[in-house]
Chains A and B, each alone.
Chain A
Amino acid sequence: MAEVNLEHVTKKYDGGVTAVNDVSFQVADNEFVVLVGPSGCGKTTTLRMIAGLEEVTSGTISIGGKVVNDVDPKNRDIAMVFQNYALYPHMTVYENMAFGLKLRKYPKAEIETRVKEAAQILGIQDFLDRKPKVLSGGQRQRVAVGRAIVRKPKAFLFDEPLSNLDAKLRVQMRTEISRLHHRLSATMVYVTHDQTEAMTMGDRIVLMKDGIIHQIDTPLNLYDHPVNKFAAGFIGSPAMNFFTGSITRDGGLQFRETSGVHFKLGGPLESSLGAYEGRTVVLGLRPEHIGIAGITTPASEATVPLKATVDVVEPMGNEIFVYFFTGSGTQYVSRVPAHRMLSHGEHVEFLFDCSRAHVFDTETEKAI
């Protein structure tokens, strides 16, 4: 196993499109790093550059301390799992898994031991003599993972491996890959557009958009301390609520939304927002920090009540998501325990816990 290091890596395509712009991060030995971001953010291109399937325009990529910019994929000692499995259709499961080892001229007995061991780990030992086409999606992805682990490579690269699976299987495979990471103590780089996968699997998350890295952090830090509005909005489901308004001083610092709704800003925010008095900012509040009177109790002194009409209610079983509009016409969502069912059109009092608010500069979108 080895660490993977990217320094100022840029990828420009012939048409002048910059897919990846000056990206630097390090994946430590045995670390599980998730690259996450919306479609077209450059996460897959970054992964493909690590694999050697895309050339690097500038910057250096090193694996295990060795710069690999000009090294062919086959000589980088990495294994990759693809979204569409990319199994060899003309080979059996066993041959698929053994292929890389055969090319590297491993002894037959060693190949057999490794394939059987991997098959055992992944629970595919009964399918070894079948062709990929008769397997289900989940089984195929297990074979693809198996093909990667038999090689015992320096690093594993996963390119949205669970996207083609149904929801239930995705959750199951997610835990299996996490388990595999612990079992193999392997260096893994995992690309996904699904923030849930990123949060649940990664030791650290690299959040990308438009070819640049917005934040590199542990899942909880990313959730609790997003560095900008994009990070705040991308991580978390349902997404963070954003309110645009101005900071005024009216018997203490206040945030006044365009429609006239206003919150008192107390605690640490009061000191940091002083300089923004009179300016427009964006205030972000996670759904779980908007309670509902009668269901939740005010979380802190900074809780601001606001009456609004319930628009849509989504019961999730253990909790409910309640969508509503404020006077400005923007839709917001609250996430509360499912103690009491609400219905469309019901007037309720929402409780905004402003002590948990994130405030962002409207121009730079950076957290204040």
Chain B
Amino acid sequence: MRNRASTVAAYAFLSLFFVAFLYPFLWMIASSLKPDLEIVSMGLTSSNYTLGNYLLVFSRAPVVRAFLNSLIVASAVTVSVVLFGAMVGYALAKVKWKGSVYLTAFLLFTMMLPFQLTLIPTYTLIVKLGLTDNLLGLILPNMLTAVAVIMFRQFFQSIPDTILEAARVDGCSEVKLVFKIVMPLAKPAVVTVAIITFLTSWNDVLWPIMVIRERDLMTLPQLVTTFVLGGEAESHLGAKLASATLLAVPIVVFYSFFQRSIVQSFASSGVKG
């Protein structure tokens, strides 16, 4: 009896948190479907559900274009981080050369530097390369990350050397070794790095705001931010909530597909989402 009582208490407590976390999100979705006047209420129901807010957002901001831009940037960044991260990680983990330990330490050091510190030099570089108002300006600086390199290196170190030697004797070149043996064996690491990179890139707002001015080149978070804060939504609270919902939808869909891998990724990498 006592056990049961404590279980009930625990569930009641957890349910409270569940509601506390989920309710604002549900409220955002429900309110985005209500006329502005009804949004002041904290309830979820309405007798006048409308898609008007969404139509307003779509008519005033190039949402579809921004979604595609985000997709292009996040995909390109993810592919390149996985590709180059694995190659560098392999060189640090499995190729014997004198500077390998020092380079690894240096990479770890760069991870300690806050993004804000390199923001201005990187921006200057992008301006000099003429890549402002260009999606390349979003992709290029993020094509390789120290986190990815370190994660691949750590994972690759656990692959026995004899497997690589067997492949070399079998006729593998070093590049084929990375892609035919090491990467398939490192699937968990590849998935982890891919998910973290994709989400980080997708959610980034600060860097796109600095590099992109042209509306047709904006990423989705950037567009929504400028739409909501830049005055275009005027006082339409419903439109602001609709744009916020649009921003959340791709991530929710992505999450529902890769839920297990994502939880494992963040658990294994010790990186917060």
Stretch at the interface among A81-89, A262-270, A346-354: A81-89
- A80 within 8 Å of B (CB atoms): yes
Complexed CA–CA distance, A27 and B234 (Å): 87
Stretch at the interface among A96-104, A114-122, A336-344: A96-104
User: Which B residues are CB-close (under 8 A) to A74?
Assistant: 168-173
- B162 within 8 Å of A (CB atoms): yes
Q: Is the beta-carbon distance between B160 and A100 smaller than 8 angstroms? A: no
- A147 within 8 Å of B (CB atoms): yes
Among the interface residues A52, A78, A89, which one has the most CB atoms of the partner chain B within 10 A?
A89
Q: Is the beta-carbon distance between B169 and A88 smaller than 8 angstroms? A: no
- B60 within 8 Å of A (CB atoms): no
Known: A74-B172, A103-B171, A104-B171. A86 touches B166 (CB 8 A): yes
Interface residues of A in 51-76 (CB under 8 A from B): 51-53, 72-74, 76
Interface residues of B in 212-253 (CB under 8 A from A): none
Nearest B residue to A103, CB-CB: B171
Q: Is the beta-carbon distance between B169 and A80 smaller than 8 angstroms? A: yes
Give A209 Cβ to nearest chain B Cβ, in Å.
Answer: 25
- A79 within 8 Å of B (CB atoms): yes
Q: Is the beta-carbon distance between A86 and B163 smaller than 8 angstroms? A: yes
Nearest A residue to B187, CB-CB: A90
Q: Is the beta-carbon distance between B171 and A86 smaller than 8 angstroms? A: no
Give B166 Cβ to nearest chain A Cβ, in Å.
Answer: 4
Complexed CA–CA distance, A74 and B181 (Å): 15
Interface string of B66-80 (1 = CB under 8 A from A): 000000000000000
Interface residues of B in 165-199 (CB under 8 A from A): 165-173, 176, 181, 184-185, 187
Complexed CA–CA distance, A99 and B166 (Å): 11
Q: Is the beta-carbon distance between A73 and B169 smaller than 8 angstroms? A: yes
Complexed CA–CA distance, A86 and B165 (Å): 8
Complexed CA–CA distance, A201 and B181 (Å): 33
User: Which B residues are CB-close (under 8 A) to A89?
Assistant: 163, 185
Give B158 Cβ to nearest chain A Cβ, in Å.
Answer: 12
Among the interface residues A76, A80, A151, which one has the most CB atoms of the partner chain B within 10 A?
A80
Give A11 Cβ to nearest chain B Cβ, in Å.
Answer: 15
Nearest A residue to B170, CB-CB: A100
Give A221 Cβ to nearest chain B Cβ, in Å.
Answer: 32
Known: A100-B170, A103-B171. A86 touches B162 (CB 8 A): yes
Q: Is the beta-carbon distance between B171 and A82 smaller than 8 angstroms? A: no
Complexed CA–CA distance, A99 and B187 (Å): 19
Majority secondary structure of chain B interface residues (helix, strand, loop or mixed): helix
Complexed CA–CA distance, A19 and B90 (Å): 27
Give A99 Cβ to nearest chain B Cβ, in Å.
Answer: 6
Q: Is the beta-carbon distance between A86 and B160 smaller than 8 angstroms? A: yes
Give A353 Cβ to nearest chain B Cβ, in Å.
Answer: 46
User: Which A residues are CB-close (under 8 A) to B165?
Assistant: 51, 53, 73, 80, 82, 86
Give A135 Cβ to nearest chain B Cβ, in Å.
Answer: 16
User: Which A residues are CB-close (under 8 A) to B163?
Assistant: 86-89
Complexed CA–CA distance, A51 and B176 (Å): 19
Give B167 Cβ to nearest chain A Cβ, in Å.
Answer: 7
Among the interface residues B165, B176, B181, which one has the most CB atoms of the partner chain A within 10 A?
B165
User: Which A residues are CB-close (under 8 A) to B169?
Assistant: 51-53, 73-74, 76, 78-80
User: Which A residues are CB-close (under 8 A) to B171?
Assistant: 74, 100, 103-104
Complexed CA–CA distance, A73 and B170 (Å): 8
Complexed CA–CA distance, A80 and B168 (Å): 10
Give B71 Cβ to nearest chain A Cβ, in Å.
Answer: 30
Complexed CA–CA distance, A53 and B164 (Å): 10
Q: Is the beta-carbon distance between A84 and B162 smaller than 8 angstroms? A: yes
Complexed CA–CA distance, A362 and B102 (Å): 51
User: Which A residues are CB-close (under 8 A) to B187?
Assistant: 90
Q: Is the beta-carbon distance between A90 and B166 smaller than 8 angstroms? A: no
Interface string of A36-57 (1 = CB under 8 A from B): 0000000000000001110000
User: Which B residues are CB-close (under 8 A) to A76?
Assistant: 169
Please give the residue numbers on chain A whose beta carbons come within 8 Å of chain B beta carbons, in ascending order.
Answer: 51-53, 72-74, 76, 78-80, 82-84, 86-90, 99-100, 103-104, 147, 151
- 13 cross-chain CB contacts under 8 A: A52-B168, A73-B168, A74-B168, A74-B173, A79-B170, A80-B166, A84-B160, A87-B166, A90-B184, A90-B187, A99-B167, A100-B171, A147-B166
Q: Which 9 A-B pairs have the closest CB atoms?
A: A100-B170, A86-B166, A103-B171, A86-B162, A74-B171, A90-B184, A73-B168, A80-B169, A82-B162
**Given known contacts A88-B166, A99-B170, A103-B170, what 6 new A-B pairs fall within 8 Å (CB)?**
A53-B169, A74-B172, A88-B167, A88-B185, A90-B185, A100-B171
